[in-house]
Amino acid sequence: MARKFFGTDGIRGRTNEGVMTAEIAMKVGQAAGTHFLRGGHKHRVVIGKDTRLSGYMVESALVAGFTSVGMDVIMTGPLPTPAIALLTREMRADLGVMISASHNPFEDNGIKLFGPDGYKLSDEAEMAIETLMAQEPLLVRPDRIGRARRIDDASGRYIHAVKQSVASDIRFDGLKVVVDCANGAAYKVAPDAIWELGAEVIAMGVEPDGTNINRDVGSTSLDAIKAKVVEEEAHIGIALDGDADRLIVIDEKGRTVDGDQIMGLIASRLNDRGDLAGGGVVATVMSNLGLERYLQGKGLTLERTKVGDRYVLERMKEGGFNVGGEQSGHMILTDHGTTGDGTVAALRVLASLVRSGKPASELLHVFDPVPQLLKNVRYSGGKPLENESVQAVIAEAEKELEGKGRLVIRPSGTEPVIRVMAEGDDAAQVEAVVDRICDAVREAA
């Protein structure tokens, strides 16, 4: 059955339109609450959010939905997505909810759901919730309606937890670190966690006003932090996204270090200590061929999944891996959490910087990336990838790159966009292949 509400990472859309209205949010609360009402105990859901203006509306609607079917609600206020996964487990909750559209602009919002184990829901669980959303809600008697409360110590709990991800003998004294929180969910906790470990912290993107999340700051808008790192002569820059589940690093020269290089570093250091599980790393089809070759040179594997950190995590659980992620910056370290955590990954990078004594530009240049180009083609309707002329151009490109590179073409799971990515040893050939496919898609669309 086709999905109506859930995409690759929960439910997401422009607020007060489509799937992201107060009415839909209340139905999600009622359906998800009903789905997780199991056993005779008092049921509980933890709800967190980022700093979007619409978070108030979505939160209130979810609270109404959950309490109407008999669930108690605990609200944390703005916290990173991984903090909600953590608190769901720690507070023995039946369900966790994060209200966020991640790196999207403030006009969008989303709803991410976690099970009692702190992991994102399976496709089957999401489909079961969608089925319940189409039915009349199972409202409880007046005396069974749930209660709602806010907790004040959630930030401190999370900071304490992420600091446990580095060894107790590690201190960041002497490090000057620029931390860009994208005016998002980590605007308090990430700078505080790094400062508590001894670093001099220069914080930016820490003045959320409800409408400036991800605007010209954060992991998807790096010009500001690059300039700040160079201006301040900082040792390193840490850029998070709106819900702080992804990380991009800036070295002391102002250059970008993406998720592939970060995964390569973390996996290599764990492997040297004998602590890398699964014999390699799990990443998506978008990760650079250079990472794959680097890991192969160390006798390690790179297992690829379709795009989406949930699919990376599923394969990690199946194969017993403890390092995985996405080139875009999702870092999943299952020794320390159940979902991507940009702050934990940042602390691991900073710890490596301290132990190595090397500058970030040297430490974080793990491999030479293969020339890779990604272009997006926006379309207004239909299914351009099913067009015969588009398929013919793609087939020709695949034949041209065979043995010399890779081609990945996919529709976005969150917006009407076709993503065309190619990589290979010949940069000119890669660009020509991508441009031909994009032109064919535009013509078909």
How many residues can be counted in the chain? 445
Superfamily of domain 11-151 in CATH is Alpha-D-Glucose-1,6-Bisphosphate, subunit A, domain 3 (3.40.120.10)
Amino acid 9: pLDDT: 83
Would you state the pLDDT for residue 416? 86
CATH class (in words) of the domain with range 372-444: alpha beta
CATH architecture of 258-341: 3-Layer(aba) Sandwich (3.40)
Mean pLDDT of the region 195-204: 98
| Diameter of the chain measured on Cα atoms | 69
Answer whether 258-341 and 372-444 agree in fold.
Answer: no
Q: Mind giving me the DSSP string for 354-407?
A: HHH---HHHHT--S-PPPEEEEEEE-SSS-GGG-HHHHHHHHHHHHHHTTTEEE
Residue 267 has pLDDT above 80, yes or no: yes
Is 352 annotated as catalytic? no
In terms of C-beta density within 10 A (0-12 exposed, 13-18 middle, 19 or more buried), how is residue 231 classed? exposed
What residues does each domain of the chain span?
Answer: 11-151, 258-341, 372-444
Burial bucket for residue 440 (CB in 10 Å: 0-12, 13-18, 19+):
buried
The predicted pLDDT at position 150 comes to: 97
Distance of CA 43 to the CA centre of its chain: 28
CA–CA distance, 9 with 68 (Å, rounded to integer): 26
Average pLDDT for 242-263: 97
**Per-residue pLDDT reduced to its tens digit, 82-131:** 999 999 999 999 999 999 999 999 999 999 999 999 999 988 999 999 99
Q: Which two tokens stand for residue 322?
A: 């403890």
Predicted pLDDT of residue 283: 97
- Token pair, residue 11, equals 């439910």
Say how far apart CA 132 and CA 319 lie, in whole Å.
Answer: 32
Cα separation, 368 vs 414, in Å, equals 31
At residue 380 the predicted structure's pLDDT band, cuts being 50, 70 and 90, is confident
Catalytic-labelled residue, pool 68, 102, 219, 268 = 102
Q: 414 falls in which pLDDT band (50, 70, 90)?
A: low
